[in-house]
Structure 1
């Protein structure tokens, strides 16, 4: 999103066993480059690690090949290798960077977005005042006078914002309790991250009933499937909340699971499971997890 100009990378990235293994594959260096490019796209989307062209349009391999300037077969190889190593996942027609919240400063990204929003709002207000004075012609505005007006407006806005915040009741406990009862989870309503997502949606005008409806829809669709791990506040109450709210309840059978989460992509005849397991065994024991 606008204003997000950075992502975090570990200085030990190239000592990671998975990175070393990927570099040993055919097109290995290109796979690493594609991985870093996917991280930058996820940072640009600023949606909990999800990668999409728009909030309603996900990337295909052909679209990624065109945007990243790689052959489509290389993109397919990279996606499959990263998926088998658990570095990315794929759901709801979007690629998801695994462990994004743990490795990226999400609060920092949100702070940048909020600062840009406030700055643009102040600039529009200033332009409106200057335009009004120019049209009426009755008031002479000196630079110092304009600055004083800006300060008064900022103080007034801050007061109104503080009052609005103090009078808004955020249904943290009700939302999390409802999610836990429906999804059989054990999230805490005191969690800072969970509260941040709920607060953001309430500030956008959504209601407790909207939260319950989204939970009902996604529980009916995901509970008892491989997607059940995403029945969590970060996914349900994130930037796709409105899309989920307007989604019809799923009617699919829960015992039907896709044989391949990348079934929409052209496949190459490579036994990645055997390839990955053999490579990891050859590397020997070491650290676990994915570093970004």
Structure 2
């Protein structure tokens, strides 16, 4: 995707009749925030108003709830509202901002796409030239001199390409300096709920990291998992025993629920110093 760092917002957007109708809804503020987040996501994707996770994968409702850090039911309500008022178009899982080309600077966005394609093309040509001109070590020094004599523009383009490559690597390679126990938490959830969620999922890691940044601890995650598996397992709510529900914005509420059978499971406010991680098979009695 050709990333755009800006979008256009009209200064009179709150005078629009559709926005006024939305402001009359109970969850008005959250719905309007979701609208702005959709506009920003469409600009970032730069694919004619489509809300995309990657260039080929549209962002679905659950992914929106996680990335936008909003309750999934509110996101569903927002999308239904936007669709009713003709603000979005829905094609399967794909969501597109209606009349995107009317409200945004399409020429500027298309120019950004062309520049990105040109950077990639020139980068590949230079790599190919290096391979052709440096078949052995004897020619390597000459090639290095040639590359060092590249124009300032070429150097800047190389830097942009390297940044894009680094960004893609960060999306799929876990940060080794990150000490958050993603694997332990997901292993515990999978065993308790009989699921198979991956600790390498970027969306799941973002949720867990957000809770750790708020001061919650590893043991808090185990308690939330115990509380909700005790109340939801083998019920219609079992489908919600998933990271985006358990580790989302309602985490503190789940943590402080008084669930029969889990009274002796302590979270961050009651853990003793040096208390070790519970066994996956015996953290609490059910």
**TM-score (normalised: structure 1):** 0.45
Structure with the larger RCO, 1 or 2 (CA within 8 Å, 6+ apart): 1
